Amino acid sequence: MKTTFKKIITYILKTESRLVLWKYKPKVVAITGSVGKTSTKDAVYAVLSRIAHVRKSEKSFNSELGLPLTILGCPNGWNNPLVWIKNIFKGLWLFVWPHKYPRWLVLEVGVGKPNDMWNIAYWLKTNAVIITAIGETPVHIEFFNSRKHLAEEKSQLIKTLKKDGLLILNADDEEVLNMKIKFKNRNITYGFKEGADVLGSGDNILYNNKNEPEGIIFRVDEEGNSFPVVIERVFGQNHLYASLAAIALASGLKLNILEAINSLKNYDVPPGRMRLLRGIEGSLIIDDTYNSSPFACVSALGTLGEIKCAGRKIAVLGDMLELGKHTIEAHKNIGKIARENADIIMVVGPRAKSIKDGAMEVGPATGGAGMNPEKIFEFLNSYEASDFIKTFVQKGDIVLVKGSQGVRMERVVEAILLDQVNKNTLLVRQDAEWLRKK
């Protein structure tokens, strides 16, 4: 019954969304990829909101139902039929009666299985499409034959581009860059490899006068000009690439590049995406608990290894889900990388046991010995890890916390978060529906 009701609601809201797009004719930027979609969406929103009224996908509104909710400006009704009925009437009223509607929509589009992209987005007419990255072992790959198959599914979004639409591609991801050959749309590439139209370089951790990390700084070259870019309160490659994608869009739209860069300095980064938070006992937290994939986890661990700190580097790593046959190998590989970048490793969940195995595995990188088992702690779930870390963290420690949504690693961050008063805005998954889930 629930499935039938959902299909009916989705059909009605999708129909209303098409009518609303036809009536108000906003310009549409659609973003997909296996890594960095949300960060890119927020960076693009920061740039465009300086020039126009913009609406972006909220939270994880990137599905067949999420896109219509964004277009209509409606909330998720979850299991409340009254909210869904209200959404339907709101969509109808938006079409029938003139409203002040956004000039730009920034839409995040995700897929979970083959043919999802066409089912979700076939009806869109986009002005720009951004493809972020696929990664070596992407999230959701268990439902696809290969990485190439997943990339082909993601590329279906490009077919929604208007004739004069702009295609923006991550030049550092081979599968993404190959889309430049297959699709003949006007395109701009971005990345850190020579040849990218918008080229990043010299990325470093930004420190304050107390020698504490407080963000990232790098250089961008675009059409013969060179600019410094500073992004505060976040770390990680996903924000570097998100910023480059947003600058590439600004370049393609002939916007003021310096203004675009300035808009990124303190752009609104949502909870759980490599955000820097103050922890108890004088510690610092890198909160990357929104979700996890092997590509993103490797990147996060690389950032942890790069940061200078007075105390210990602690990696708290939960299960990475939806990896299918790649599960054991991917987790073991994360263990090998974690031991090179962290002093202490904590693994959370049944799949994460393979992280411990990888960290302890004998190999040439460790001089013939694996990581000392006394520096690895294993927990069944995030509740156990939360109870332990509260008494374990010390002054000067920097703690990276990461895991897939289903492992609920935000509970670990909450346990050592200094600002408990504002935890509802600082942490991911704090709305009532998520808090009711165990």
User: For residue 125, which of 145, 154, 155, 105 has the smallest C-alpha distance?
Assistant: 105
Average pLDDT over the chain reads: 93
Report the pLDDT value the prediction gives residue 1, as an integer from 0 to 100: 40
Cα–Cα distance between 243 and 255 in angstroms, integer?
15
Residue 366 pLDDT exceeds 60: no
Residue 149 belongs to what H/E stretch?
Answer: helix 147-155
Q: Which residues contact 79 (CB under 8 A, 6 or more apart)?
A: 2
Cα–Cα distance between 59 and 377 in angstroms, integer?
32
pLDDT band with cut points at 50, 70 and 90 for residue 21: very high
Cα–Cα distance between 58 and 72 in angstroms, integer?
12
Q: 81-85, 125-129, 390-394, 433-437: which range is least confident on average?
A: 433-437
Report the pLDDT value the prediction gives residue 142, as an integer from 0 to 100: 72
pLDDT (tens digit, 9 = 90+) per residue, 190-207?
999 999 999 999 999 999
Q: Which residues contact 375 (CB under 8 A, 6 or more apart)?
A: 343, 344, 345
Q: Same topology for domains 2-263 and 275-436, yes or no?
A: no
Cα–Cα distance between 271 and 428 in angstroms, integer?
5
Cα–Cα distance between 298 and 89 in angstroms, integer?
46
Give the homologous superfamily in CATH for domain 2-263: Mur-like, catalytic domain (3.40.1190.10)
pLDDT band with cut points at 50, 70 and 90 for residue 365: low
Residue with tokens 């998954």: 429
Residue type (1 letter), 259: E
Residue 77 pLDDT exceeds 70: yes
Whether 170 and 189 have beta carbons less than 8 Å apart is answered as yes
User: Taking the mean position of all CA atoms in its chain, how far away is CA 405?
Assistant: 12
pLDDT (tens digit, 9 = 90+) per residue, 254-278?
999 999 999 999 888 889 999 999 9
Residue ranges of the domains in the chain?
Answer: 2-263, 275-436
What string of DSSP letters covers 86-120?
HHHHHHHHHHHS-----SEEEEE---SSTTHHHHH
Burial of residue 241 (number of CB atoms within 10 Å: 0-12, 13-18, 19+): buried
CATH number of 275-436: 3.90.190.20
User: What is the percentage of the chain residues whose pLDDT exceeds 70?
Assistant: 97
